Amino acid sequence: MKRVSIKDIARQAGVVPSTVSFVLNGKAKEMRISDEVANKVRAVAEETGYEPNRTAVSLRTGRTKILGLIVEDISNVFFAKLAKIIEDEAYAMGYKILYCSTENDKEKGCELVKMLLHQQVEGFLITPAAGMEREISRLVELNKPVVMMDRYFPGMNIPSVLVDNYGGVKEGMEHLLNKGYRKIAFITVDLNQIQMQQRETAYVETMKAYGIPEEEQVVLKLPYKSNAANAVDRISEFIKEHQDLEAIFFPTNYLGVYGLESIKNLGLSIPGDLAIVCFDDHDIFRLYTPGITIIKQPIEEIATTAIHLLTNQLEDKQQAEELYIFKKPSLVLRGST
Amino acid sequence: MKRVSIKDIARQAGVVPSTVSFVLNGKAKEMRISDEVANKVRAVAEETGYEPNRTAVSLRTGRTKILGLIVEDISNVFFAKLAKIIEDEAYAMGYKILYCSTENDKEKGCELVKMLLHQQVEGFLITPAAGMEREISRLVELNKPVVMMDRYFPGMNIPSVLVDNYGGVKEGMEHLLNKGYRKIAFITVDLNQIQMQQRETAYVETMKAYGIPEEEQVVLKLPYKSNAANAVDRISEFIKEHQDLEAIFFPTNYLGVYGLESIKNLGLSIPGDLAIVCFDDHDIFRLYTPGITIIKQPIEEIATTAIHLLTNQLEDKQQAEELYIFKKPSLVLRGST
DNA sequence: CTGAAAGCGCTTACAG
DNA sequence: CTGAAAGCGCTTACAG
């Protein structure tokens, strides 16, 4: 059951191996090989079920057609969906994907980069953990194309595909404000992460644009790693303290879930007592909340843009013109708000 | 910025390439290379930051240290978690994983097997879609180790790591029955899949063992691809028709979610009006159902067993003694039932 | 103890 | 138009 090689085909077709290689790589015309010979070779390759040995091709050409994808955590739905789409697009273009997860651990992230490098991957798609700057700039020095997703390091000059966090929150806020809501709270997390900061800025500025000064805005910041029970308690308390609240904006889906539980515990109805807008969808919303408005992450756009950006660099060796590409989330109304 | 090769090291250390290879592969002793020479070689390798070219190693040794993992859908939490654990274990043993998803499509599944084969993977971990039998037995003929997970093809003689569906349902049913519940409905899906059938059998037989004959058992079968709204309607109707119901057993988490919505719509309480047991956990349960009992899938056990089964075959070239390995799910009580 | 050489399966510049 | 040959970076059987 030995694999057939280019040599076997050459022997059977009565030509030399190089001829077989040219024919099978579509260079028959270029090399002025007669149709007769070319067809013979193709026929033999066909009937023997020949498949080139990719390892040998890689060694010879220096290309592996393998891309490395480093996400934060493959078991998280957002990244899993991202990975799936990237995988599909990559396969369609003849690339394979090697995945792994940093778990937001700088050390592990750097390890993985090294590992993928040994693995001879040709390019990298990364949602970087903080602290991976050095390792990533090393990749650039090694002339390996890199595209970042969802996060970025300002000033590092690496093409990045990002969610338009500011624009998304602005749109959601305008939706509420245009409906006449004024007392809108923003319940966020105390995390020094660029995405979350952009979202908060958008809240503050959109409110201001509608004539509500910062002093009258209502922001609650929960500690980063607070557990479900604590978060629900804090939010419930907060809602009770602010009896005049008309709406709440949650800048991330987990907060939204906690919020829903608080609202349910307090016996309030949506959107009767409170209107809710949440950045980023969650399965739970589908079932339990006819009156919630979602700002849906543009996962598909991010994935396809990123993979194409990367393969373009690989094929033409040219950089993207735009360094930071922002994808706008879309507003989804589930029932009335 | 050219990579350093074994030749470069040989030159700098004043030896021939083969000596370098022996030293770096830990065969210095075996080849009786002097410590002095060996240390010199190691020092040079260290300071030049030498990393072997895996492609060349693969071509020469015929080994790639890459495993193929084919799941149904990487964007599904169950498979994503499975993949994550497998990836971690594999990396720890020096293997890399190439993932992909069949989307339960026989054609795509077979394509993927071929693709991974071209990619020179050494072994396969597969959650097969129906219809992939031929392609998988081809792998065995090619002498490629295969381990199946979660599903199996009876009589195909391929090591499979499975959930003990029967045992899990039996345990959940006994839990209910021991608490005194007698009128227990089983709401399932009309799908000719081995897992679901085992679960149903367990319901029927456990009921019988407690003295409730099949005529008095209550089973509802929903069509396979019914949407959420239809499913919820059917279940609501069913509950209304069976006023004397004391408990419901859902053999899969999506049905449980639909069931919860029906119960909520009907204004019933859990476990006051109805006790609920569901096979397989779901995020939603965590938030909305203090009185639900879960039969938790043994994801971690499946993943680690499967990967070790595969690597054992690769390292020792020996088959597993047991062909079918069943992992027992665990019963998790959320509040009282 | 060490070195020279073959060969894994390809691709491609070169000679004819 | 076709063929002989080098070489990608390794490993390992063989000779000395």
Confidence class for position B124, pLDDT limits 50, 70, 90: very high
For chain B, the average pLDDT equals: 88
Higher per-residue pLDDT: B27 or A211: A211
Is the pLDDT reported for residue B14 higher than 90?
no
pLDDT at B175: 93
What would the pLDDT profile of A227-251 be if each residue is shown by its tens digit?
888 999 999 999 999 999 999 999 9
Contact A283 B287 (CB under 8 A): no
Written as one letter, the residue type at B296 is K
pLDDT at A89: 93
Indicate the length of chain B as a whole number.
Answer: 337
Q: What share of chain A is helix, strand, coil (3-state, %, to 5)?
A: 45, 15, 35
| C12 closest protein residue (CA to C1') | A18
Whether CB of B28 is under 7 Å from strand D: the answer is no
Give the closest-approach CA distance of A55 to chain B in angstroms. Answer: 6
Residue A1 clears pLDDT 60, i.e. is over it: no
Cβ of B57 less than 7 A from strand D: yes
Q: With CA atoms as reference, report the closest residue to B147 among B267, B312, B330.
A: B312
Mean pLDDT throughout A249-262?
91
Which residue is nearest nucleotide D11, judged by alpha carbon to C1' distance? B60
The reply to whether the CB atom of residue B24 sits less than 7 A from any atom in nucleic acid chain D is: yes
Residues B206-230, mean pLDDT to the nearest whole number? 91
User: C1' nearest to CA of B16: which nucleotide?
Assistant: C3
**Confidence bin at A285 (pLDDT 50/70/90):** confident
Tell me how far apart the alpha carbons of residues B135 and B109 are, in angstroms, rounded to a whole number: 9
Phi and psi torsions of B326, nearest 5°: -100, 130
Q: What is the mean pLDDT of residues A23-52?
A: 86
Q: What is the predicted pLDDT for the residue at A242?
A: 93
Residue B3 predicted with pLDDT over 80: no
Confidence at A336, pLDDT banded by 50, 70, 90: low
CA torsion sign for B79, B80, B86, B90 is positive
Q: Residues A226, A234: contact at Cβ < 8 Å?
A: yes
| A 29-88: CB within 7 Å of strand D | 31-34, 37, 56, 59-60
Mean pLDDT of chain A, nearest integer: 88
Per-residue pLDDT, B334 = 75
**pLDDT over threshold 80, residue B318:** no
Q: B75 and A75: CB-CB below 8 Å?
A: no
Return the percentage of chain B with pLDDT > 70, whole number: 96
pLDDT band at A147; cut points 50, 70, 90: very high
Burial class (CB in 10 A: 0-12, 13-18, 19+), B138: middle
From residue B199, alpha-carbon distances to A59, B159, B195, B337 in Å are 51, 21, 6, 20
Question: Between these two residues, B245 and A32, which has the higher pLDDT value?
Answer: B245
Q: How far apart are CA A265 and CA A276, in angstroms?
A: 16
Q: Do A99 and B97 touch (CB under 8 A)?
A: yes
B2, B55, B260, best to mutate vs chain A, most A CBs in 10 Å = B55
Encode pLDDT of A3-37 as tens digits.
788 888 888 888 888 899 998 888 888 888 888 88
Give the per-residue pLDDT at A295: 94
Binning pLDDT at 50, 70 and 90, where does residue B98 land?
A: confident
Q: Can you give the pLDDT at residue B248?
A: 96
Secondary structure (DSSP) of B235-262: HHHHHHH-TT--EEEESSHHHHHHHHHH
pLDDT digit string, tens, across residues B278-298: 998 887 777 666 678 999 999
CA dist B239 and B247 (Å) reads 10
Mean pLDDT of A92-120: 85
Report residue B76: phi and psi, to 5°: -95, 130
**DSSP structure class, residue A104:** T
Q: What is the mean pLDDT of residues B161-182?
A: 94
Whether A22 contacts A28, CB under 8 Å:
yes
Residue type, B111: E
Comparing CB atoms, the residue among A80, A120, A286 nearest residue B54 is A120
Q: How confident is the model at residue A142 (pLDDT cuts 50, 70, 90)?
A: confident
CA dihedral over B311, A108, B75, B98, signed as positive or negative: negative
At which residue do the structure tokens 């075959």 appear?
Answer: B313
Residues A254-263 have a mean pLDDT of 90
The burial of B253, by beta-carbon neighbours within 10 Å (0-12 exposed, 13-18 middle, 19 or more buried), is given as: buried
**What average pLDDT score do residues A312-323 get?**
75
Chain C: nucleotides below 7 Å from protein CB are 1-5, 7-13
- Other C-beta atoms closer than 10 Å to the C-beta of A189 total 20
Q: In angstroms, what separates the C-alpha of B77 from chain A's closest C-alpha?
A: 6
- Whether A178 sits with its Cβ under 7 A from any strand C atom: the answer reads no
3-state helix, strand, coil in chain B (%, to 5): 45, 15, 35
Find and list the nucleotides of strand D having atoms within 7 Å of a protein beta carbon.
1-5, 7-13
Q: What is the pLDDT of residue A259?
A: 92
Is residue A320 over pLDDT 70?
Answer: no
Whole-angstrom distance, CA of residue A162 vs CA of residue A198: 12
Q: Is the pLDDT of residue B320 over 80?
A: no
Higher pLDDT, B300 or B195: B300
Residues A181, A275 contacting (CB under 8 angstroms): yes
How far apart (Å, rounded) are the C-alpha atoms in residues A9 and A41? 7
Cis omega (within 30 of 0) for bond into A329: no
Among the partner-chain residues B84, B96, B120, the one whose CB lies closest to the CB of A98 is B96
- DSSP classification of residue A68: E
pLDDT for residue A269 is more than 70: yes
Lowest mean pLDDT among A221-235, B53-67, B273-287: B273-287
Token digits for A207? 């409110």
